[in-house]
Amino acid sequence: MARTEDDQVRYLDLLLRKSQIVRGTAARDILSLKSQETRGRAWGKRNGYTIRRIYRENLSAYKPGVKRPDFEAAVHALLEGESHCLWAYDSSRYSRKGAGDVLKILDSPGKRLVFDINGLDTERPEDRRRIIEDAERDREYSRVLSEKVRDTKAEQRDAGKWLATVPYGLKVTKKRKLKGNKWWPVIERIHNEAAEGKSQRKIAAGLTADGFTAPRGGHWRATTVGKILRNPVYLGWQVVTVKGAPVIYRNAKGKKVRVFAKGFEGISQAVWDKHRQTAAGVQRPAGFGTDRADEQAPAENSPAAGFTWCAGGGFEEETGHRAISNGNAFRCSDNLAGIPCPAPCTATRSGVVRVVLAEWKKRLAEANPLDPTMLAVSERWVALSHPTESEAESEARGQLKVAEEAVARLDRLNAAGAYGGRDGESTFVTLRRAAVADVETARKEWEKVAQPLGDISVLTDPARCAELWDSSTDTFRGQLLRLAIDKVFIRKADYTGQRVTPQRIVIEWAKPRGWKPPKKKQKVESGAGKS
């Protein structure tokens, strides 16, 4: 029975994993995970453990870049003494990254890891070699399988078979070719209207007004329209994703591959070229001025662009929505897309910049050393004026934090009894001495590159600040505003033609890294409640 001498409760964690994603099914409801859980609970009951927590994963344990927060949490809980044993159905369900993921358990005295179906248990010294060998075997199996799958997909892609999620407006045939579904007319409408010169916002608003729902439901947005207009699959070409964007795939001979079913025609190349040239500003729709010459530079954005929000959508990022630049004004993005907003804002760009700049200068001129915004300005000014030094300091600070956490972790493990006995005590002293040395090394490296608070006198001096603003480009002016401002909320005008006033602007001022608002002092009630 898994009990301590004083009959304390022993806790067991179960790690359940299924590598194949089952779309539309919650991870906890997948059949194989349920069967693993049943077996794990039975094992725990037989061995006198109490189930503390069950970790469920529905992802790969081999693919690079895949994050496994549940796996990391389960291992961390075991090493930190929160659980006394970690159970997995078999070694391949635990990890396929090789021996490294099991050695961290094997090299921690008193930490029990069980692979049920393999009959392996870290409490048995004779199982150590088998556990390491199985971990390496699982890693090699996954590597070979990954290469086979990659080669198979390459062959299928060269044959013009569609392997990814089917794009909106299309469906896949039995031969893995694409052709239009009932929403294909929407795709044609989007491309044709874009070729006629309509903006993405107007196209989205028109689709919403006509009762069409977006691919993921709800109202259409300009960004959704833009993604459709930039996806070459609608021309009929095989595509792959590169840095999040679809690009035309080319085979080993450098040729494009058709992915549409025989007899189905996609968007014509002429329509595609016309709306892409219009979007690039090379070609203008009739009545919209002349085409842009190559030597003409595009106009710079407003300094306030990028952090303006519509106050009608609320003051929280989760519920609010942007106020985007449209013409000579900032307008509610939802309202432009045809999505209802209770109080859609419209404010001239020059008016917003005028008010925000005045409030920004006023806040900096006060130069209150206790103001957290001024601390944020100092930090951000260093990053803006000395970006290389700022990046080096940030990296050094991170290394120092990692080293300090390593010492703290050793102390926690020692307090939990991980280094018992004479040998364990010697091991702990050696490891901690090395960890403390790492902290001192990291601290010295940080001190070499640590920057004092930035000298912001050029910003707090009204005359010098005005000179800096006047001599800067709109892009740099936007960076200056962001030194002290995170967001600007714009309220709807009380009447048509109302000027932008400070009452219509709500500014969310910047705070330094790690800043937390001070706790409010509780008021002591008078009378009987007062002690």
> Do residues 266 and 303 both lie within one domain?
no
Residue 1, domain member (yes or no) = no
The count of structural domains within the chain is: 3
> Do residues 192 and 260 both lie within one domain?
yes
Q: Could you tell me which of 301, 307, 341 has the C-alpha nearest to residue 323?
A: 307
Mean pLDDT of the region 164-178? 91
More confident residue, 432 or 324: 324
> Do residues 22 and 90 both lie within one domain?
yes
Statement: residue 165 has pLDDT above 90: no
Residue 248, domain member (yes or no) = yes
In CATH, what number is assigned to the domain containing residue 83?
3.40.50.1390
> Do residues 99 and 182 both lie within one domain?
no
> Do residues 306 and 218 both lie within one domain?
no
Mean pLDDT of the region 84-96? 83
> Do residues 379 and 469 both lie within one domain?
yes
> Do residues 306 and 374 both lie within one domain?
yes
Beta strands 308-310 and 321-326 are antiparallel
Give the span between the Cα atoms of 113 and 130, in whole angstroms. Answer: 13
Query: 530: number of CA atoms within 13 Å, CB side?
Result: 5
Q: Could you tell me which of 29, 13, 165 has the C-alpha nearest to residue 78?
A: 13
Give the span between the Cα atoms of 340 and 199, in whole angstroms. Answer: 19
Residue 255, domain member (yes or no) = yes
Statement: residue 295 has pLDDT above 70: no
Mean pLDDT of the region 478-503? 91
Boundary (domain end) residue, out of 98, 127, 143: 143
More confident residue, 300 or 477: 477
Residue 3, domain member (yes or no) = no
Residue range 50-71, pLDDT digits in tens: 999 998 887 665 556 667 788 8
Boundary (domain end) residue, out of 245, 280, 315: 280
Residue range 34-54, pLDDT digits in tens: 888 899 999 999 999 999 999
pLDDT band at 183 (very low <50, low <70, confident <90, very high): very high
Residue range 226-265, pLDDT digits in tens: 999 999 999 999 988 877 888 888 887 788 889 999 999 8
Tokens of 94: 């635990």
Q: What is the mean pLDDT of the chain?
A: 79
pTM above 0.85, yes or no: no
Statement: residue 392 has pLDDT above 80: no
What amino acid occupies position 416? A
> Do residues 16 and 98 both lie within one domain?
yes
Mean pLDDT of the region 205-213? 90
Residue 294, domain member (yes or no) = no
Provide the percentage of residues in the chain whose pLDDT is more than 70: 79
Residue 399, domain member (yes or no) = no
In CATH, what number is assigned to the domain containing residue 177?
3.90.1750.20
More confident residue, 25 or 528: 25
Residue 148, domain member (yes or no) = no
Q: Give the least confident one: 67-76, 243-252, 365-374, 443-452.
A: 443-452
Residue 155, domain member (yes or no) = no
Give strand ranges (E) for 75-182.
Answer: 85-88, 112-115, 120-121, 170-172, 178-180
Statement: residue 526 has pLDDT above 50: no
Tokens of 359: 């409030």
> Do residues 135 and 199 both lie within one domain?
no
Give the span between the Cα atoms of 42 and 47, in whole angstroms. Answer: 9
Mean pLDDT of the region 445-473? 74
pLDDT of residue 447: 61
Mean pLDDT of the region 90-117? 80
Tokens of 63: 């693919």
> Do residues 119 and 263 both lie within one domain?
no
Q: What is the DSSP letter of 483?
A: T
> Do residues 370 and 463 both lie within one domain?
yes
Helices (H), 114-167: 128-158
Statement: residue 388 has pLDDT above 60: no
Q: Could you tell me which of 349, 353, 351, 331 has the C-alpha nearest to residue 341?
A: 331
pLDDT of residue 519: 63
> Do residues 220 and 81 both lie within one domain?
no
The range of the structural domain enclosing residue 174 comes to 170-280
Given the structure tokens 């409010």, which residue do they identify? 520
Q: Could you tell me which of 5, 104, 9 has the C-alpha nearest to residue 48?
A: 9
